[in-house]
Structures are given as structure tokens and as C-alpha cells.
Amino acid sequence: MSVAAFFHVSRPFSVAEIAEATGAAIREARAAGAPPPVITGVAPLAAGHHGDLCFFFSPRYLEALASCRATACFLNPRHAHLLPDRIIGLLVDDPQRAMTLAASRLFPEALRPGSLFRGGGVSPSAIVHPEARLEPGVTVDPCAVIGPGAEIGAGTIIGPQAVIGPDVRIGRDCSIGAQASVICSLIGDRVIIHPGARLGQDGFGFARGENGWLKTPQLGRVIVQDDVEIGANTTIDRGATRDTIIGEGAKIDNLVQIGHNVVIGRFCAIVAQTGIAGSCEIGDHVAIGGQAAIGGHLKIGEGASIAAKSGVMRNVPAGARHGGSPARPLRRYLRGEALLDRMARRDKGDEAI
């Protein structure tokens, strides 16, 4: 059975071209019969072969580096002496960043999801309301639905069975994945929304009544600024009396829940299964680990970091690193965990220790 290759290199690149694009210094291979310096793919160290480009960033991968047969490898100059002579070294301060830049040159089509039907224009089975406005170059895959008054910018791709609600505005060069739904939202340029994501539905707003819960009208919108990426099956609720805002360049993983009125700053990174309760304000450049929970009406300062599985119940200052549940300064949390572990080890009555 043949192995499918879902992405293909745009063209072969010389090592010199890769070095120029990434700012790398070249350390030529010294072994006789070294392969020609042409790059046609990328691979992990253990699987690298002729024509491949890889990267090395930690001595823990020394065994894989020793057996690697790639043509070239990004690595920090302090690790240059570890590189086998047969491999061309590309010396950079940050090998992972350089690898990302190089892979983007080699496989540009992998940066943004395309039409699942490799077509252009509007599929005959798509339902586009006559009052919707599509700029030239919009692709609408089969069975997608675009409501009245919606506006979609040039170069945007709407995946199969996606739903774009009335009066939604989507900018240029966006990608809306299969079965995603976008209502009550304004979307900027170059935004990627992966399959199954939900934007603009009601926030979780209720008031106690005499005989149960009273639903609070959710009258705001979802505003997604330029260059945001939203993962599969993530949900972003629209605001109640103000907008839910996702700042420029933010990257949101799969299965994240963002409540109504939340403001996410610019260039934040939020990892999978995180939940952010309503009316939180997250500053710019904040990193939040997986399965973290952020309580409602809190403020996370610019540049702060929240460890995975944390339960944040108080405001977090700018630049702080917090972890644990309830979340507290990370060093204090780690010292507490170490102390508990030492106490447990001293418990002679526990036969499992």
C-alpha cells in the first residue's frame, strides 16, 4: 500500500538559500562523499535521510543525532561539536524557530488550510443568501451556508458544512474549517478557524428567578482581530452587554472554552482544554497551559504565564508565573509540592512508599 503525502515541497532549496532565509551560519560537512546541499523535505532527527532538514536543541537527543542521515541540521553553536561530520550544520541561536521558518518556505501550503475539494468559487451545493456579499476569489465548499448580509473578503475559504450567520463579516485570506459556525461575529484578515469551532453563540448568562433561572439576553458580539488562529471544537461565546474580543495574533488550541465578555490580548497562547470564565481580561503575550481554569472577572497581566492544570481564582500580576490550584506564584507552588513529597516519604506507615 502506498503512503500518502498530504503536503509537497514547493521546490528544492539549496542549503545556502535556507541559511539566508533563517540567518544561519553554515558549517560544511567534512566527510568524504557528503550529500549535495539541496533540501527537499523536513524530518525528525531519528528519521532524517538524504535531502532532509532537521533540528537539534538538546543533548537528550544525542543518540538520534548520531544516527541521523539528514543533509542539514539546525543547531546552536554551542552544540556544533556534537554534529556528525557527514551533516551540514546550520548554526543559529534558536534552532526550533529556524526550523519553523525553513519549513514555512518549503511547505507554504501547510500554513493555511485550503479547500477540501481543491476547487475555487462557490460549490453548487452551497447555500449563499442573495443578500450576502462575497469579494472575488472567495471559495465556498459543498453544503456550506452563508446567511443574509454576510460579507466575506477575497481569498477566504469556507469549508464544507460551515455556517456563516447573518451580517457576519469575515476579512480577507481567512480559512473557516468544515462544520464550523460563526454568528454575531466580526472576523479580521488572515484568521484561521479550524473544523467544528463555534463562535458567537449565547454566553452562559442567567439570573435567579422566583421559579428557576431567567435567561439574560446576550447582546454583544465576538470580535476576532487579524492573524488569530482558533483550534478545532473551541467555543467562544458572544458578549452579554459588551463584546468578547480575541486580540491580534492570538493562538488558541483545540477544545478551549472562552466565556462571554472575555478580552484576550494580543499574541497570547492558550493551550487545549482551558476554560476562561466570563468577563476575564487577559493581557498581551500571556501563555496559559493546558486544562487551566480561569475564574470569572479576573485580570491576568501582560506577559504572565499560567501553568497547566492551574485553577486561577485571583488576579495575576504582569510578568508573573503562577501554577497550582488555587494558583499561586510558581516557585511557592513547587516548593509546597516538594515539601509534601518529603513529608509523605517520611511516613513509615505507608507501605507503598
Q: Which residues are bridge partners to 328 per DSSP?
A: 323
Is 260 annotated as catalytic?
Answer: yes
Reduce the DSSP state of residue 91 to 3 states and report it: strand
* Cell 513509615, located at residue: 348
> Residue length, the chain?
353
The secondary structure of residue 328, as a DSSP letter, is E
CA distances from 62 to 56, 57, 154 (A): 9, 10, 47
- 315 grid coordinates: 488576579
d(CA 107, CA 345): 52
d(CA 220, CA 343): 51
Considering only CA atoms, which of 306, 279, 304, 302 is closest in space to residue 291?
306
- 344 grid coordinates: 509523605
Contacts of 344 (CB under 8 A, 6+ apart): 350, 353
Q: Within 10 A of 72 (CB to CB), how many other CB atoms are there?
A: 27
- Please report which residue ranges of the chain form alpha helices under DSSP H: 15-22, 62-67, 95-106, 330-345
DSSP strand pairing (263-264 vs 72-75):
unpaired
CA distances from 286 to 21, 105, 146, 282 (A): 28, 28, 34, 7
Reduce the DSSP state of residue 73 to 3 states and report it: strand
d(CA 36, CA 310): 49
Catalytic residue among 8, 81, 129, 260: 260
Tell me if the bond preceding 326 is cis, omega within 30° of 0.
yes
Catalytic residues: 260
